[in-house]
Structure 1
Amino acid sequence: MMISKKKYKIMKKKKRARCLCFYNRIYILKINSHTCVSVGMSQDHRRLDTAMVCDNIVPLLKNNLGVTVKFIIDHIRAKFNYTISYRKAWSAKNKAIEHIYGSWVQSYRDLPWWLMAMEKWVSGTVIRFETSPTAIHGEVHFERLFLAFKPCIEGFAHCKPIVQVDGTFLTGKYKGTLLLAVAQDGNAHIFPVAYAIVEGETKDAWNLFLKHLRENVTPQENICLISDRHASIKSAFENPSNGWNHSSSHVYCIRHIAQNFMRAIKNRKLRKYAVNMGYAPSEPTFMYWRHKIAKKSPTALAWVDDLPKPKWTQAYDGGIRWGHMTSNLAEAMNSVFKDIRGLPITALVQATYYRMAKLFERISEAVHKSNSHVVNQFDRQNYTFIVEETEDPHEGRPMDIFKVELKEKMCDCGKFQALHLPCSHVIAACSHANLSYEPFIDDVYKAATVFAVYDRPFPAVRNQGLWPDYLGDVVCPRLDMKRTKRGRPKNSRIRTEMDEFEKRENRCGLCRVSGHKCHECPNAAGPSN
């Protein structure tokens, strides 16, 4: 066979290379230590699958539902000396939850049985359960659930007449939203009063929640509802069939007002002035901050003037807010429920019951400040006083003057009307007239009233073997509520304009000193010699 001269040379080169490789072959006999492992190389192991990780973290989740994925990764690394991926740890945690509490689909089927047991053993519990029919006979879809326990309903009558409402999303296999109504007792303790599991913060969902909340939990007059400016909440409050707009008030959270202000005006300094307007306890203080906005921006002034003053200011609300300018009580409860929001629905309802039962098991600056006030009695018959506030009681230099009317329960500082507690000026006036200031303290702050909030027994649910048989329809989750998006669902709140962002100071990448960049660093080494 004839081959070309070029092809012959190539074959000769390959043969010579094979011979060189044979004679120069290196045999590795022993390795003392690895020096070629990349830091970024994955340390996961295919045998260490989600089932094995699940078996090792089940005891952790039984004791603490708040175990984070990062903690699971550290736990597996300490036990097996392998670092698993975040996705594997997240999947293993969901498997462990399903192992402990059952599958999500079965949890929907068990929900009517649990609710029936609560109606039997926990009398007085308000349960409103809504379903929709399916194509299969004997099966229904879960829609909404409203839940309020009798001790919470009776305890609210001794709390401040305010209700804060908010919603937080569920993080389990099926989408949904947990709606909360929260109050506060006279000892500044958060007091949850009602819950609801709905499809989202829609108009129909808020109508259901506010209607049953008004009918069964908060039927008292002069109740103040505090929320954000969500259009669905406003619509549900103004709906006459829900019963809120006759003898109650709806006000806005000042943090959400500040968020809306930033979206419209985009000025942090003016936002601070607007927040100070909302917190101002008296009309002169309110007008002071309003004038500062007027000097800076007529557009911002028109924006704040467009809002009804009783809806967002303390100076013009008539004391109905009791000093609560935000919906932070509901936000705090959202963080309390953060670790159980990923549970199956029946386990979530059970967790709210047991946590409320545990809550029911827990059963002066103004006086010091009043010593620096000078009181001039103005009208003995009407108990009207002029109180001069001084910076230093020894100098006697007047700082400001306030009028106090004890019969009308009014002080020019505005704190007496807003908080329903005697301010330092009222205490100084009472001391001057040899009167006790205790009658001017609202009953809600007294110890007897605070104890009465938790003076109701929380009944216990009997053993599951004693529950009656459930013969109703089988409850199934809606298919459109299943999470189809890949990856883990978000379980933390998205930061918005209401959050304070700290601007990081730029530093040099070499010497970590601010004021210059790395290519301008005076401490950088010079050229090599």
Structure 2
Amino acid sequence: MQYNPRNYVNLDFEQSTGRFKGFFISFKSCIDGFNHIRTLLFLDGTFLKERFKGNLLAARGKDGNKGLFPLAFAIVDFETIANWTWFLQHLTKVVSSARTLTFVFDRNAGLLESFPTVFPSAHHAYCLQHLQANLRDKLRWVDNRGKRYGEMTSNAAESFNKWILDARNYPITSQTNEDIYEVYSFPTVLIDVGKRSCSCFQWQLNEFPCAHAVVAIQNNGRDFSTCVEQFFTIDQYKTAYSGYIQPIPTVDKSSFSEDSFIIYPPTVKRPQRRPKKNRIPFREEKLS
């Protein structure tokens, strides 16, 4: 906080025992940069394997080039409903309430319970890889509202260049007016440049033109930048990464005195070893 005073940081511990409970951090440069990328956040937790164990919770976005954009991190003792609620409550402090967000996460019990109470107006979309395991059960909870920008999984999607790789090979004809075109491909599709739509639905899903739409826009003579969501523009991409995180020169030699307040590590539950079963030695005897 001394070198990056506008970061959002919260350190939580048990008042009675002084033991660590949670640490949340979101760098100011990441907070500002998120305002210039898509309104999409991926939530996930993963185990820590060091001496004191614990879990790392994270909220990540995606920039216009489909690169992962870190927004917030937290270290907690366990991945529980209470800890996810605590994480999401602090997350509300670093995202703008004026933006309607879409969250992508799996069926973690802590997230399913805490998300609707902390982000009641946000949209929730599941990762299809998690839905595939038990489609019938998971579809009861799916909420497909909100803009997903074509992100149907938690993994990185295909790059924009793949969408327009074969665009120059498609013949094109104009129909009805200057905005509607029929592109002969496999299969043939209908483009409405004015409504930003294609019958292949990729333009509507991704919020940037598909390969069919590219040739229609070129033939229409319209400025290509007006047909792309602002989060995919170079200016927004550069602005998202324009901030910086000031390094901490004393990170390895922090000052400490006997009067300093000490936060103790959480109590770690070690997995119990299974008792070995009594084994009867086998002895082969020769028949006489």
- Using the size of structure 2 for normalisation, the TM-score is 0.83
Determine whether 1:463 maps to 2:250: yes
- 1:90-126 C-alpha deviation (Å, 9 max, x unpaired): xxxxxxxxxxxxxxxxxxxxxxxxxxxxx22211111
CA contact (8 A) 1:183 1:190 kept: yes
Q: Which runs of 4+ in 1 moved over 6 A?
A: none
Determine whether 1:226 maps to 2:104: yes
Amino acid at match of 1:478: P
> Could you tell me which residue of structure 2 aligns to residue 157 of structure 1?
35
Determine whether 1:175 maps to 2:53: yes
Higher helix share: 1
Within 1, Cα distance between the matches of 2:33 and 2:183? 38
Among 462, 474, 481, the residue aligned to 2:262:
474
SS in 1 for 2:183: strand
Amino acid at match of 1:230: N
Unaligned runs of 5+ in 1: 1-118, 262-302, 312-316, 330-363, 390-398, 488-529
Among 251, 261, 269, the residue aligned to 2:125:
251
Among 11, 17, 34, the residue aligned to 1:129:
11
Q: Matched residues, percent identical?
A: 24
Within 2, Cα distance between the matches of 1:366 and 1:197? 39
Cα deviation for residue 376 of structure 1 reads 3.1
Determine whether 1:439 maps to 2:266: no
Larger RCO (CA under 8 A, 6+ residues apart): 2
Within 2, Cα distance between the matches of 1:236 and 1:170? 22
Question: Measured at CA, do residues 148 and 388 of structure 1 come closer, stay the same or move farther in structure 2, by a change above 3 Å?
Answer: same
Within 1, Cα distance between the matches of 2:259 and 2:127? 45
Determine whether 1:420 maps to 2:207: yes
SS in 2 for 1:208: helix
Cα deviation for residue 196 of structure 1 reads 0.8
Amino acid at match of 1:128: N
Within 1, Cα distance between the matches of 2:26 and 2:257? 24
Within 2, Cα distance between the matches of 1:473 and 1:368? 60
Residues 98-117 of structure 1: matches in 2 within 5 Å?
Answer: none
SS in 1 for 2:12: strand
Among 211, 215, 218, the residue aligned to 2:93:
215
Determine whether 1:369 maps to 2:166: yes
> Could you tell me which residue of structure 2 aligns to residue 292 of structure 1?
none
Aligned residues: 269
Higher strand share: 2
Among 379, 387, 400, the residue aligned to 2:183:
387
Cα deviation for residue 220 of structure 1 reads 4.4
Question: Measured at CA, do residues 452 and 463 of structure 1 come closer, stay the same or move farther in structure 2, by a change above 3 Å?
Answer: same
CA contact (8 A) 1:193 1:217 kept: no
> Could you tell me which residue of structure 2 aligns to residue 307 of structure 1?
140
Unaligned runs of 5+ in 2: 275-288
Root-mean-square deviation (CA, aligned residues, Å) is: 2.7
CA contact (8 A) 1:167 1:201 kept: yes
- 1:4-55 C-alpha deviation (Å, 9 max, x unpaired): xxxxxxxxxxxxxxxxxxxxxxxxxxxxxxxxxxxxxxxxxxxxxxxxxxxx
Within 1, Cα distance between the matches of 2:14 and 2:261? 11
